Amino acid sequence: MTALEITTMQEEIRALAAERDAVILAHNYQVPEVQDVADFVGDSLGLSREAAATDADAIAFCGVHFMAETAAILSPQKTVLIPDLDAGCSLAASITADQLRVWKAENPGAVVVSYVNTTAEVKAESDYCCTSGNAKGVIDSIPEDTEILFLPDMFLGLWLEKVTGRKLRIWMGECHVHAGIRPRDIERMQAEAPDAEFLVHPECGCASQCMAFGNAKTHILSTEGMIRFAKQSPKERFLIATETGIIHRLQKEAPEKRFEAVSEKAICRYMKMITLEKLRDSLRDWKYVVTVPDDIADRARGAIDRMVAIS
């Protein structure tokens, strides 16, 4: 698309959103032109909070399916649209509700903490939900002597064990994008830019290892945590270990600073399924409406409400 075509399509989208009284929410991994047309861009926690707080009639969710489901659970009276129903998440697909029920039966009395990257059915089987932005706070809020089943991301779980000092039972799921960011990518970048600050998402396969380096320049952060950190830091150069879509947001929020992706291959094909055209069609043709059956939504809401409340 040319720059003019992008601007024209964005104007069409803004007009449709106003006509339909829809708020457009976009995750930090969305393509730049979708981020730029959104009312709010953020991480999973921020988007959940916006979805819960908005007084618009509808939410056009530019992210992946579990995020739209979470919005539908938090705002049951609103219409939640996702521009492409195939925008899934390999991490959310790594555990089913049936598998979780078996795991719970094997560990009676344990409390279940699910990362937000899970289906609504899995959340309905969970006691707490968390995002990378508040996972430590959620674990810290659970009494010390309580056994915790943490799912589905093993790297986030291992990192949580380190920062909370708690022993967790961890599901062995992973995000293919973050697991693919290898220690050798990091070593190469750090050798090239020894003075740069190093921002790492806790889903990365290298997160715990990076922490073990004990390097004061390494910071394990959610996507929005990276934005906040970069904005307030006096430093000028940052190496980023997460999905590359965030570079656009970082550059926009801190234009005078330099951001480099540790791995250019860290691209989430699900996040990239959302395009301006699909967003326009979604608002124009009122598709695809994301709904969660009442019985599942009612059981999942408690875990999600606890997530939204804890920072």
**Binding footprint of ligand 13P on the chain (CB under 6 A):** 28, 43-44, 117, 131-133, 175, 203, 222-223
For residue 270, the partner it binds in ligand SF4, ligand 13P, none, with Cβ less than 5 to 8 A by kind, is ligand SF4
Q: Evaluate whether 289 touches 79 at the Cβ level (below 8 Å).
A: yes
Of residues 34 and 91, the one with the C-beta less far from ligand SF4? 91
Q: Evaluate whether 241 touches 206 at the Cβ level (below 8 Å).
A: yes
Of residues 56 and 268, the one with the C-beta less far from ligand SF4? 268
CB neighbours (10 Å) of residue 283? Answer: 24
Q: Smallest gap, in angstroms, from Cβ of residue 203 to ligand 13P?
A: 5
Could you please report the per-residue DSSP string of 59-128?
A: EEEES-HHHHHHHHHH-TTSEEE-S-TT---TTGGG--HHHHHHHHHHSTTPEEEEESSS-HHHHHT-SE
For residue 44, the partner it binds in ligand SF4, ligand 13P, none, with Cβ less than 5 to 8 A by kind, is ligand 13P
Q: Evaluate whether 291 touches 79 at the Cβ level (below 8 Å).
A: no
Of residues 185 and 203, the one with the C-beta less far from ligand 13P? 203
Q: Smallest gap, in angstroms, from Cβ of residue 114 to ligand SF4?
A: 13
* CA–CA gap between residue 71 and residue 78 (Å, rounded): 9
Of residues 125 and 203, the one with the C-beta less far from ligand 13P? 203
Q: Smallest gap, in angstroms, from Cβ of residue 175 to ligand 13P?
A: 5
For residue 28, the partner it binds in ligand 13P, ligand SF4, none, with Cβ less than 5 to 8 A by kind, is ligand 13P
> Which residues here bind ligand SF4, judged by CB under 6 A?
64, 89-91, 117, 175, 177, 243, 268, 270-271
CB neighbours (10 Å) of residue 17? Answer: 21
For residue 200, the partner it binds in ligand SF4, ligand 13P, none, with Cβ less than 5 to 8 A by kind, is none
Q: Smallest gap, in angstroms, from Cβ of residue 18 to ligand 13P?
A: 27
* CA–CA gap between residue 202 and residue 220 (Å, rounded): 6
For residue 90, the partner it binds in ligand SF4, ligand 13P, none, with Cβ less than 5 to 8 A by kind, is ligand SF4
Q: Smallest gap, in angstroms, from Cβ of residue 306 to ligand SF4?
A: 21
Longest dimension (CA), the chain: 60
* CA–CA gap between residue 56 and residue 175 (Å, rounded): 32
For residue 43, the partner it binds in ligand 13P, ligand SF4, none, with Cβ less than 5 to 8 A by kind, is ligand 13P
Q: Smallest gap, in angstroms, from Cβ of residue 290 to ligand SF4?
A: 15
For residue 23, the partner it binds in ligand SF4, ligand 13P, none, with Cβ less than 5 to 8 A by kind, is none
- Burial of 156 per CB tally in 10 Å (0-12, 13-18, 19+): buried
Q: Smallest gap, in angstroms, from Cβ of residue 157 to ligand 13P?
A: 14
Q: Smallest gap, in angstroms, from Cβ of residue 141 to ligand 13P?
A: 18
Stated as kind and residue range, the H or E segment containing 23 is strand 22-27
* CA–CA gap between residue 121 and residue 95 (Å, rounded): 10
Of residues 33 and 174, the one with the C-beta less far from ligand 13P? 174
Query: In terms of DSSP H, where are the helices of 181-245?
Result: 183-192, 207-212, 223-232
Of residues 83 and 152, the one with the C-beta less far from ligand 13P? 152
Give the residues across from 26 on adjacent strands.
41, 62
